[in-house]
Chains A and B, each alone.
Chain A
């Protein structure tokens, strides 16, 4: 069952997608699916190529910005910004729980100039805590 959480008007996050969730995303008007989960992290879950194929079949774009336990730094943040700026319609980002997707969105939003307090509040409304990366949010927002 789909459990998409709305961060902003154009950004949704989700836990791991099942193939049927992709159709639900299309029905919700999503234009781009962002996969933040590395392939192989959970072999029983649909892997990136399966989600990509389902997205294409449903008329959506797909991009992988994997975030494993090595974490993320500016290349992934910049890739997320590109995704946000180039998406035609809302984006749906997913990982295992939606946490990594939300953290990455938070850093991208900070770099795009969104106020840190707004980012924290927006994430909290969707049920996510971005305080672990508050220092980096502040740093990127201050640039």
Chain B
């Protein structure tokens, strides 16, 4: 019985170690352009950002591809979800130091509203609010 318990414990620890080694579990972060590019490509196969902005907390990001399409990415549980923004999307600058500096409403209740603290929020807001119907996804 003792041997069986010890064996189970070893197996659990081995699985936990494997999960850690494979970087499974935990809270994923978007901390670099490479992270954003990887997440964007997972959302839409072939989406290649030419520019991106990571939220200060790493919970969300924006990415723009060569065609001018803008993808909003947010953490959803232990993975990332994203939407290519269309003409329904709205971005509003917010003066909330230490909290966030832009709010983006993609116009889809299921996806929700995202708060970001990013560099050059004004430029991103202008680009998002000018997204034309031709970029609708």
A99 within 8 A of B: yes
Tell which of A27-35, A53-61, A130-138 binds the partner.
A130-138
Interface size class of chain B, counting residues whose CB lies under 8 Å from the partner chain: 20 to 34
Task: Knowing A96-B96, A97-B96 are in contact, say whether A103-B56 is a contact too (CB < 8 A).
Answer: no
Which chain A residues in 87-143 approach chain B with CB under 8 Å?
95-97, 99-100, 103, 131-136, 139-140
Q: Nearest Cβ in chain B — how far from A140, in angstroms? A: 6
Cβ-neighbour of B114 out of A69, A74, A99, A131 (below 8 A):
A69
In Å, the complex CA distance between A97 and B98 comes to 10
> Which residues 15-43 of A have a CB within 8 angstroms of B?
41-42
A135 touches B110 (CB 8 A): no
Of A73, A97, A100, A131, which one neighbours B112 at CB under 8 angstroms?
A: A73
A33 → B minimal CB distance (Å) = 19
| Count of A interface residues, CB-CB < 8 Å | 25
Residues of B121-135 at the interface with A, using a CB-CB cut-off of 8 Å, are none
A38-68 contacts to B (CB < 8 Å): 41-42, 67-68
Partner among A41, A67, A73 whose Cβ is within 8 Å of the Cβ of B109: A73
Cα of A56 to Cα of B94 in the assembled complex, Å: 34
Taking a contact as CB atoms closer than 8 A, the residue among B55, B74, B90, B117 that contacts A135 in the complex is B90
Give chain B residues whose Cβ lies under 8 Å from the Cβ of A136: 105, 107, 109, 113
- Whether A1 is near chain B, meaning CB under 8 Å from some CB there, is no
Q: In the assembled complex, how far is the CB of residue A61 from the closest CB belonging to chain B, in whole angstroms?
A: 26
A70 with B96: CB separation less than 8 A = no
Question: How would residues 65 to 78 of chain B score, 1 for a CB under 8 Å from any chain A CB and 0 otherwise?
Answer: 00000000011100
Interface 1/0 per residue, B52-96 and A, CB below 8 Å: 000111011000000000000011100000000000101010101
A73–B55 Cα distance when bound, in Å, is 18
Residue ID in chain A nearest B75 by CB atoms: A70
B59 & A68 in contact (Cβ 8 Å cutoff)? yes
| In contact, B109 and A139 (Cβ under 8 angstroms) | yes
Central interface residue in A70, A76, A103, by most chain B CB within 10 Å: A70
Query: Mind listing 20 A-B residue pairs with CB under 8 Å?
Result: A41-B57, A68-B75, A69-B115, A69-B116, A70-B75, A71-B113, A97-B96, A99-B99, A100-B99, A100-B115, A103-B103, A103-B113, A132-B92, A133-B113, A134-B105, A135-B88, A136-B105, A136-B109, A139-B107, A139-B109
